[in-house]
Chain A
């Protein structure tokens, strides 16, 4: 039986590079093969393996919404070997992409509900995909609140889009920076995300909360959500772990028996509570 090479990436051209914050860039990628472009689809929440040929692959969620066709975007911070190489590339360069992998945010089940997005630092990119998807389907949802925090004003990513969300009457955007991270002209909040979450007193009734950020932010945000009556089924997050294949074979992203790559990366808090402490 003839079978496909599941490890062969699509070749993608870097169409546009946006500097988001220090060491943080967004790549807009378009397929170099038209047929592949036409056959490709993904759903918000899914991720992929991006390759710099010669350096290897790196895992990011797709940062663009599935409602916008013809390209995908990824946003990454330059930290390790592959992201450093990635950051050195120019518009017009070619990279590889395998995906989409993993499960999705069940936005169809969220119709008619309020959405509360809580993100910290470089965890806004995976959430940005969901936010724009929901904004592109705006009439399907009630109130949309975005609480986003970073270490400093400089570290906030997607500054242009934050501006756009701020100016939209149908979005309630709350920005915060860690104490000491504010600039003289800063008009947003100052304080850690869980503190500001408590301050804005989120309404749990008919609301879905989507939380994504560093482990410590998630850990302290959950009790606040609980305080305001959010049940575990109302709270979603997306996990990440080191991966190679993205397909449940290479054996490293599992948390207990659950593979982040194929059973996740999206989990409800109910599912999260069933996971052992291994992530």
Chain B
């Protein structure tokens, strides 16, 4: 659909959350919890961390939770009885106040989980989630969205995007049918926006730092460049933090938990940075050393995914670098790959 431009008074923002909640929609939004900002259910606007650069956790858990039950069963002597888990049972949810890189991060997940046979657990949550993003008035040195095709006002993946254009006013871009439908709940609070509003003026300035095409072609050619991968990963301790905060990382593990009578199978986030990730029972490990695991991370995002799923595995949010305990910086790594 053609996007619609509206204006919303900042002071009316709290009414939006109230209305969503009064209609029974769960609202997920960034919430400050101690030192970190998580994506959590909220009831009121004042609990939402809106003025922060970026949540610590990405928004992916809205459709791909950290821990998710995929099986439930009971045990009776030799027999096992499975209780069907309905992946379709999920309430219409609003993901509110996330950044454009979070919204567009779902593109990668859509591609992975949507590829046949599709993963209903993810797809149903995603389908039932309406995303209201806030464009970025500020950025930091870790941000490089513009280098990977995004930007501080990037709208792909968002259903509605808000941009603060003054202390009192938000520009509202209604971008999709889903967004249009949801805006029905607060149409009365919207006024028409002048088409001459220059949104760009209100966005952070994020400089392009590398040539993405070069990163993709050089990454694809670099599988055997052992020195490059070793050099980049020398510090890596394989903690997996980068994958856990990444909006596009989708690798997962299954674990069973049970007592004597019943059990569940859980799907949990995993990371290609862990040494156990690919370890065979025989002791053989196809990715034996950390540099091979680092190579997998970069190549998956910048070579395999673009080639096979036609989507990049990176949004340039820089979360991996912010979270890295040994200060690895993906922006620098990609820049050096582009210059190879």
Contact = CB atoms under 8 A, between A and B. Distances in A.
B21 interface: no
B234 interface: no
Contacts of A95: 80
Contact of B253 (A51, A55, A92, A250): A250
A250 B270 contact: yes
B256 A53 contact: yes
How would you classify the secondary structure of chain B's contact residues: helix, strand, loop or mixed?
mixed
Contact of B224 (A215, A245, A276): A276
B14 interface: no
Contact of A53 (B258, B267, B303): B258
Interface stretch (A182-190, A204-212, A252-260): A252-260
A25 B296 CA distance: 35
B123 interface: yes
A18 interface: no
Interface residues of A, number: 46
Contacts of A79: 281-282
Given A83-B281, A278-B286, A244 B254 contact: yes
Given A3-B120, A3-B124, A249-B252, A8 B287 contact: no
B25 interface: no
B75 interface: yes
Interface residues of B, number: 56
Interface string A1-42: 111111111010100000000000000000000000000000
Contacts of B296: 254
B90 to A, nearest CB: 12
A167 interface: no
Given A53-B75, A250-B253, A251-B270, A8 B277 contact: no
B291 interface: no
Contact of A215 (B124, B265, B284): B284
Interface in A86-120: 90, 92-96
A83 B252 CA distance: 21
Contact of B112 (A7, A92, A93, A249): A249
B78 interface: yes
A279 interface: yes
Contacts of A55: 256
B255 A56 contact: yes
Contact of A5 (B84, B256, B258): B84
Contacts of B282: 79
A250 B251 contact: yes
B248 to A, nearest CB: 11
B49 to A, nearest CB: 30
A57 interface: yes
Given A7-B70, A94-B79, A244 B252 contact: yes
B265 A249 contact: no
Interface string B105-136: 00000001101011111011001000000000
Given A54-B258, A249-B119, A279 B286 contact: yes
Contacts of A256: 223, 299, 304
B253 A247 contact: no
A249 to B, nearest CB: 6
Interface string A227-258: 00000000000001110110111111111110
A95 B124 CA distance: 28
A169 interface: no
Given A53-B263, A244-B253, A252 B119 contact: no
B82 interface: yes
B286 A80 contact: no
B278 interface: yes
Contacts of A9: 71, 82
Interface of A: 1-9, 11, 13, 51, 53-57, 79-80, 83, 90, 92-96, 215, 240-242, 244-245, 247-257, 276, 278-279
24 contacts: A3-B123, A4-B120, A5-B86, A6-B117, A7-B267, A8-B71, A11-B80, A51-B265, A53-B73, A54-B258, A57-B254, A94-B78, A241-B280, A244-B252, A244-B270, A247-B117, A249-B113, A249-B250, A251-B252, A252-B278, A254-B300, A276-B223, A276-B224, A279-B286
